[in-house]
Amino acid sequence: MRDSPICLDGMEAVDEGRRALPTWEAMRSDELQEARKVRETRTRLSASARPLGLAVKNFLSFMRQMAGHPAAVVGGVVILLYVAAAIFAPWVAPCAPDEVSLTRRLVPPTWTGAFPLGTDQLGRDILSRIIYGARVSILVGVLTIAISVTVGVSLGVVAGYFRGPFDRLVSRFTDLLLAFPYLIFVIGAMAVLGPGFWNLIWALSFKGWVEFYRLARAEVMSEKTREYVEAARALGRSHAAIICSEILPNIMHSILVLGTLRMGNMIVLESSLSFLGLGIPPRIPAWGSMVNDGRRYMLTAWWVATLPGLALVVLVLAINLVGEALRDVLDPRLKET
């Protein structure tokens, strides 16, 4: 029976089915691998989209909290108006800031005339000079704070985390700088460097980083003993990873608040130095130099010095209002109380 044609045909069919089985299993394995790859791709995409969605959610929550401070909203609108005027000054300003005309000198302010805020002793349009002066004040404030934050926070984080001789050396140097009043120190620095935009930036930044150094150092010394830092250290993470991923995100709110509040101080210092003739060169419109030019005409043409000073006061007040609101929103200690 085994040698019969029917049995031989059946056995050959079974052998062919067995030989075809690995091919089917291979096709099944390829499909499983393809499905696994698709699943891994979807997992990676969802993981990458999760931080973005969390960031958007946190930003919206932050904006809602800031909207709960009406003074901060008004201050933010004022700052945006100043920034927009500074950026689009060539298109917004009615005249060139250095356009001189002695036939129209000391024209009083009038809303119906060609010079809404009047002219100065050389016939230059005060509104145009105020708009162009906003460029100088905003740039000085932003650049000085950016340099001070970068230098101060970098040194403060290293000194506070590692301590040792580096911490003692930098701390004694900051104590030496703090012994000098800020304005007198900057006046001396500008007397050595000479008037100029970048000289003013470096003179203000040379002592401006001290406050950020002391704040970052104190915050890092407090945070490095927390449980989450000890857990990261127990997991074998490097010092750089602990500083950048664990400590810095938890101290940035204090640095942001201090930077916002100190920006107003830097703008006032720049105007003070320009008033004294040690800051921005006279050929560049600056609020401090405009006040200095108009002080001799206070009794006859009050607008020459008053209006640039008023522009300075409004901008600094708006920045301080936003800074106070940032402190209320970002400082967790105030939320607990």
- The residue range of the domain holding 48 is 1-67
- pLDDT beneath 50, residues of the chain: 1-3, 5-6, 8, 13-14, 18, 20-22, 24, 45-49, 337
Shared domain for 159 and 187, answered yes or no, is yes
Shared domain for 316 and 222, answered yes or no, is yes
Across the chain, what does the average pLDDT equal?
82
Q: What is the pLDDT of residue 249?
A: 85
Q: What is the pLDDT of residue 51?
A: 57
What pTM was estimated for this model as a whole?
0.79
Torsion of CA 279, 283, 287, 289, to 10 degrees: 60
Q: What is the pLDDT of residue 41?
A: 59
Shared domain for 27 and 80, answered yes or no, is no
Shared domain for 237 and 285, answered yes or no, is yes
Number of domains in the chain: 2
Q: Hunting for tokens 């108006």 — which residue is that? A: 81
Shared domain for 252 and 107, answered yes or no, is yes
Shared domain for 57 and 106, answered yes or no, is no
- Pick from 67, 96, 120: which residue ends a domain? 67
d(CA 120, CA 108): 9
d(CA 72, CA 326): 8
d(CA 232, CA 246): 8
Shared domain for 55 and 80, answered yes or no, is no
Which of 133, 180, 124 has its CA nearest to residue 274? Answer: 133
Q: What is the pLDDT of residue 45?
A: 45
Shared domain for 187 and 137, answered yes or no, is yes
Shared domain for 193 and 316, answered yes or no, is yes
Shared domain for 168 and 224, answered yes or no, is yes
| CATH number of 330's domain | 1.10.3720.10
In the chain, what is the greatest distance between 2 CA atoms, to the nearest angstrom? 133
Q: What is the pLDDT of residue 333?
A: 57
Q: What is the pLDDT of residue 331?
A: 66
> Angle at which helices 197-223 and 164-178 pack, to 10 degrees?
130
Which of 133, 41, 29 has its CA nearest to residue 82? Answer: 133
d(CA 328, CA 337): 11
- Pick from 12, 36, 67: which residue ends a domain? 67
Q: What is the token pair recorded at 122?
A: 């050389």
Shared domain for 171 and 33, answered yes or no, is no
The 3 state secondary structure assigned to the chain is CCCCHHHHHHHHHHHHHHHHHHHHHHHHHHHHHHHHHHHHHHHHHHHHHHHHHHHHHHHHHHHHHHHCCHHHHHHHHHHHHHHHHHHCHHHHCCCCCCCCCHHHCCCCCCCCCCCCCCECCCCCEHHHHHHHHHHHHHHHHHHHHHHHHHHHHHHHHHHHHHCHHHHHHHHHHHHHHHCCCHHHHHHHHHHHHCCCHHHHHHHHHHHHHHHHHHHHHHHHHHHCCCHHHHHHHHCCCCHHHHHHHHHHHHHHHHHHHHHHHHHHHHHHHHHHHHHCCCCCCCCCCCHHHHHHHHHHHCCCCCHHHHHHHHHHHHHHHHHHHHHHHHHHHHCHHHHHC
d(CA 175, CA 170): 9
Which of 226, 185, 237 has its CA nearest to residue 209? Answer: 185
> Angle at which helices 126-162 and 248-275 pack, to 10 degrees?
140
d(CA 125, CA 101): 10
- Do residues 323 and 261 lie in contact, with contact meaning Cβ atoms separated by under 8 Å? yes
- Do residues 262 and 148 lie in contact, with contact meaning Cβ atoms separated by under 8 Å? yes
Shared domain for 57 and 169, answered yes or no, is no
Q: What is the token pair recorded at 34?
A: 């393809």
- Pick from 67, 100, 116: which residue ends a domain? 67
